[in-house]
Structure 1
Amino acid sequence: MESHDLWIFKHVAELHSVSKAAEKLGYVQPNVSQRIKSLEDELRVKLFMRNNRGVTLTEKGNVLLEYTNQIILLMDEAKSVISPQKWRESITIGASQTISAVRIPQLFSSFLKEHKNMDVKVRTNDKQRLQEMLSYGELDGVFINSADNSSQFETVYRYFEKIVLISPKHSQLEKQHDQTLIVNSDINCIYRNKMIDFANKSYFHDPTIMEFDSLESILQAVHDGLGITILPADVAYNRKEIKTVQYQELSDTIMIDFIIKRRKQKPQSLTKFIRFLQRT
């Protein structure tokens, strides 16, 4: 097996598509298909199952992907150790927009003071997609509220964050029970669910739900008097300059885990980041 063939295989596996992998790599599709076929012929197994939506890994394909990730990891580490001036270490972290808004930049600001020769990427997405990306090796770790597949992932760091109810100034929550709830469109968003739970416990009468895909849109909606929302305290207080809203810190806290994929060997950059987190 050639390392370049494994690199192509990894792209096809993660994108679930030969054509998308070819487009991303800048190759013509027949060349990618031929590389996959050569791997299958050499190993004498089927690596992918073809379907109308693209391709999915077979059981043997999943095994090869595990080894492929380890091989590519070791090659990248060897480059960064042997020639650090040319090849830098890198780490790719995932989180929701809300979690990544303030906390993660603060963490990396301190982390990169200790590890200057490292490239950092932060990917934002919804909870389900982030776990898929972690599973397929697209991410090194994810900040998330409770993973769905605990057997596949492990928690290496945990923190608790305070949450704040943000509402337009002069909004009388105790009297005005027909509030509009401003929430993220991701039904698995923990802050969305906290907002709906708060409304239920406060006996809001059939509240209207208004969904937005971005954190800035949610904050702007409250700023414009459209409704109320719940966000992490650090996000809320980081925008104290908004004079048209008021803040009410709630007694609840939210548990945020930093999860990684269970595997025998971790990238050196990820190991450094975990050690940093555990010291904070």
Structure 2
Amino acid sequence: MNHTSLKIFEVVAEEMSIIKAAKRLGRVQSNITTRIQQLEQELDVQLFIRESKKLKLSPQGKQFLVYTKKLLSLAEEARQSLHPQQPGGIFSIGSMECTAASRLSAPLATFSRTCPEVKLNLTMMPTRQLTERVQQSELDCALVALPVIAGKSVQCPEDLHNLPLFVENLTLLLPASMSHVNKLEDITVGRLAAFKEGCTYRDLARKLLEKASAQGGGIQIQDVASYHSMMACVASGTYICLLPESVVDLLQLPEGLKRIDAGSAVTHLIWRKDFASPALEQLCRIMHETSNLDGAQQQALG
């Protein structure tokens, strides 16, 4: 079992296709197949289940993939540690859609200029899924919205560091049919359009609507995949959505929508406590410089 075999296994597991993995790695298909077979023989387990020319991970394959990602991440961290003044290699960042849209363009451009030898991979997902991927070493770090508790602390897993970066003022967008609504307490009905389970803003909006409408767990939620589809739902006249104002300012809102203040949330950069790299240090420095929090606020929320 060597680094190359582990990398091939990781790519095949991600693509679930020998053909796609071979193309991505620049290798012939027979070489990919042989490497996987050799790895399975060495481990004495079946890593993939082959059904009707389709691949899926076996239970042992799923378990081994977790360790594979950790080993590859550790190897990359070790390589970078030998050249602390010259960040390089692959650096995987996760981000919420809203943060990527409203906060990342300038910092990532600066990072690219500062660390030209680093190959940056950006993945966008809801907070819960991003957090899990960081914990499983599939991502080096991620920008997530962590719930605030009592106005001063956050629910951050113990195995992760977190750096508070942005306070996001939140806005509930209501359709024109609810133009008479002026505050949360006035909302009596309404369905929620939101990103899938795992999104912090989805959870915050659901709790706000349940409290305002006294519907308990009866809020209907429509899963959407983009802000454009979210806006379409609200424009239809029957849905409500919750967004950071920084994102609202980027969108072309349908005419007549009502905006209601819905509090705030804090975006954090998270990474594993056992992970360190020159690229991460540079990103932390750059993101800190763009933060809208002062030192005291960061300490209180960290």
Into which bin does the TM-score normalised by the smaller protein fall? 0.7 to 0.9
The 5-angstrom pairing of residues 52-67 of structure 1 reads 53-55=56-58, 56-57=60-61, 65-67=69-71
Change (3 A) 1:67 1:121: closer
Alignment coverage as a number of residue pairs: 270
1:248 aligned to 2:256? Answer: no
Find the partner of 1:195 among 193, 199, 205: 205
Per mean C-alpha deviation after superposition, the further-off stretch among 138-147 and 267-276 is 138-147
Change (3 A) 1:23 1:115: closer
1:243 deviates by: 3.9
Per mean C-alpha deviation after superposition, the further-off stretch among 187-196 and 106-115 is 106-115
Partner of 1:142: 142
The 5-angstrom pairing of residues 10-25 of structure 1 reads 10-12=10-12, 15=14, 19=18, 21-22=21-22, 24-25=24-25
Normalised TM-score (structure 2): 0.68
Find the partner of 1:172 among 155, 159, 180: 180
Partner of 2:242: 230
Identical pairs, percent:
19
Find the partner of 2:284 among 251, 274, 279: 274
Change (3 A) 1:50 1:262: farther
> For residues 63 and 219 of structure 2, what CA distance do their matches in structure 1 show?
47
Please say if residues 167 and 264 of structure 2, whose CA atoms lie closer than 8 Å, have aligned partners that are also in contact. Answer: yes
Specify the code of the residue in structure 2 equivalent to 1:256: T
1:171 deviates by: 1.9
Partner of 2:194: 183
Partner of 1:103: 103
Specify the code of the residue in structure 1 equivalent to 2:189: D
Please say if residues 179 and 204 of structure 1, whose CA atoms lie closer than 8 Å, have aligned partners that are also in contact. Answer: no
Per mean C-alpha deviation after superposition, the further-off stretch among 170-179 and 216-225 is 170-179
Normalised TM-score (structure 1): 0.72
Per mean C-alpha deviation after superposition, the further-off stretch among 129-138 and 57-66 is 57-66
> Secondary structure, in 3 states, of the residue corresponding to 2:161?
strand
> For residues 106 and 198 of structure 1, what CA distance do their matches in structure 2 show?
33
Partner of 1:210: 222
Deviations 1:41-71 (A, max 9, x none): 7xx6557655684244587876565343333
Partner of 1:92: 92
Per mean C-alpha deviation after superposition, the further-off stretch among 92-101 and 190-199 is 92-101
Deviations 1:80-138 (A, max 9, x none): 988x9xxx655331123233221222433454565566554321123454345434544
Deviations 1:7-45 (A, max 9, x none): 324435x5395747456436566533532454577xx65
1:275 deviates by: 2.4
Deviations 1:223-243 (A, max 9, x none): 443422111121123336654
> For residues 199 and 65 of structure 2, what CA distance do their matches in structure 1 show?
32
> Secondary structure, in 3 states, of the residue corresponding to 1:263?
coil
Backbone CA RMSD of aligned residues: 4.0
Partner of 1:68: 72
Please say if residues 191 and 240 of structure 2, whose CA atoms lie closer than 8 Å, have aligned partners that are also in contact. Answer: yes
Find the partner of 1:220 among 232, 240, 244: 232
